Amino acid sequence: KQEVTQIPAALSVPEGENLVLNCSFTDSAIYNLQWFRQDPGKGLTSLLLIQSSQREQTSGRLNASLDKSSGRSTLYIAASQPGDSATYLCATGANSKLTFGKGITLSVRP
């Protein structure tokens, strides 16, 4: 059974800092890995999806990497802004089902 872990549970950084959010998973037989953003009381917004054959994806200040063999993914956020404050979840995809980590709550201090 797939287990997805995100550590730490919370992170606070000053504005402008580059940061890396980590995600690990136990079963490397995945089709893809997706990063989401969740604002308090809101739904999930897809940020990036990496197919199992890919190593990374980029969108603006975000870059996500995937290392299937080691069961790891990272989300890199460049030049963080207060508006980046949210919970970031990673999820592995197999068939149609997503398995989520618990998320990392990021706070970017002005």
Partner 1 sequence: EPEVTQTPSHQVTQMGQEVILRCVPISNHLYFYWYRQILGQKVEFLVSFYNNEISEKSEIFDDQFSVERPDGSNFTLKIRSTKLEDSAMYFCASNWEGTDTQYFGPGTRLTVL
49 binds partner 1 (CB under 8 A): yes
Write the binding mask 66 to 105 for partner 1: x where contact by CB under 8 A, - elsewhere.
-----------------------x-x-x-xxxxxxxxx--
The two structure tokens encoding residue 82: 């207060």
14 binds partner 1 (CB under 8 A): no
**Cα–Cα nearest to 21, from 9, 31, 29, 32:** 9
Q: How far is the CB of 79 from partner 1 (least distance, A)?
A: 25
CA 73 centroid distance within chain = 7
Q: How far is the CB of 12 from partner 1 (least distance, A)?
A: 19
Kindly compute the dihedral angle of the four CA atoms of residues 29, 69, 100, 46, in this order, to the nearest 10 degrees. -100
Distance CA 29, CA 37 (A): 24
Q: Residue numbers of the site for partner 1 (CB under 8 A)?
A: 4, 31-32, 34, 36, 42-46, 49, 51, 89, 91, 93, 95-103
